[in-house]
Amino acid sequence: MKTNIGKYLPGNVWHFYGRISAAKSAGIPIAAATLSVLMEPLLMATAALVVALIGNVTHWAGSLLSLAIGLAIVHPRCLNPLLSRLQRSKGTGEQWREQWQLQHYPLRPFLGELGFLLLRGCGFLLTLLALTRFDPEKIPRLLGAFSWAWLLGLVIPGAPGGLGVFEATAIALLNGLLPPAVILSLVALYRLISVLAEAIGAGVAWLFDRSKIQSR
């Protein structure tokens, strides 16, 4: 929770570095920590594509192709050779390769990321509900638009926390579905709520760690 704030720093990679460092400090092998951090954005991007497909906010052919590529990348037959090449380039030895490779398809982590994205989408819908009422029939399209905007904010490099990218994409996709004033208020308020929630979570985690140190 504390390292998640690092995504708003220029470069959009410092939260990943912070998670690897935190895992290493907790006694987790660096190879396992790196693998988990590498897989997380891949699984999140794939989950976002699934929701975007359901919402039908983009071309089906391109989305299906991207989804197939995303699902294939995290398959052991594709990911393990990449890990082996990485291991050889680092010179970490045969033992690392045997111990830290995928043994099966990461279905449960993928379902977890899908649930995470749907929860964020529900937050987006609740933010909209605080501004105006909307037809429940629009929910799939709204979730699809949110997922596509969130995905572009995730994958486009150089945008800290997807700032600007998420908002611009959401405005473009929601145009014609909601009044312009509601769209602008929605993306601004959602960003504010999201940042505040992440900051509060990081603050609670910091206070928890501080209280543990003091109790010792």
Model pLDDT for residues 60-111, shown as the tens digit of each residue:
666 677 778 777 877 888 877 876 776 666 555 444 444 567 788 888 998 9
Give the distance from CA 69 to its chain's centroid.
17
Give pLDDT, residue 142: 92
Report how far residue 207's alpha carbon sits from residue 204's, in angstroms, rounded to the nearest whole number.
Answer: 5
Give the distance from CA 80 to its chain's centroid.
22
Residue 175 phi, psi (nearest 5):
-60, 125
Q: Which residues pair with 175 in a beta bridge?
A: 178
The two three-digit tokens of residue 184, written as one number: 């602008």
Domain boundaries along the sequence of the chain: 3-215
Instruction: Give the dihedral sign, CA 106/107/113/114.
Output: positive
Q: Which alpha helices (DSSP H) does 94-178 contain, by range?
A: 94-99, 107-131, 139-155, 165-174
Q: What is the DSSP letter of 75?
A: S
Report how far residue 174's alpha carbon sits from residue 167's, in angstroms, rounded to the nearest whole number.
Answer: 10
Give pLDDT, residue 155: 83
Percent above pLDDT 70 for the chain: 86
**Taking a C-beta distance cutoff of 8 angstroms, is the pair 75, 104 a contact?**
no
The two three-digit tokens of residue 55, written as one number: 């919402």
Number of H helices, E strands in the chain: 9, 0
Taking only the tens place, the pLDDT of each residue in 133-188 is: 999 888 988 998 999 899 888 888 777 778 889 999 999 999 988 999 999 999 99
Q: What is the CA radius of gyration of the chain?
A: 19
Q: What is the pTM of this model?
A: 0.83
Give pLDDT, residue 100: 67
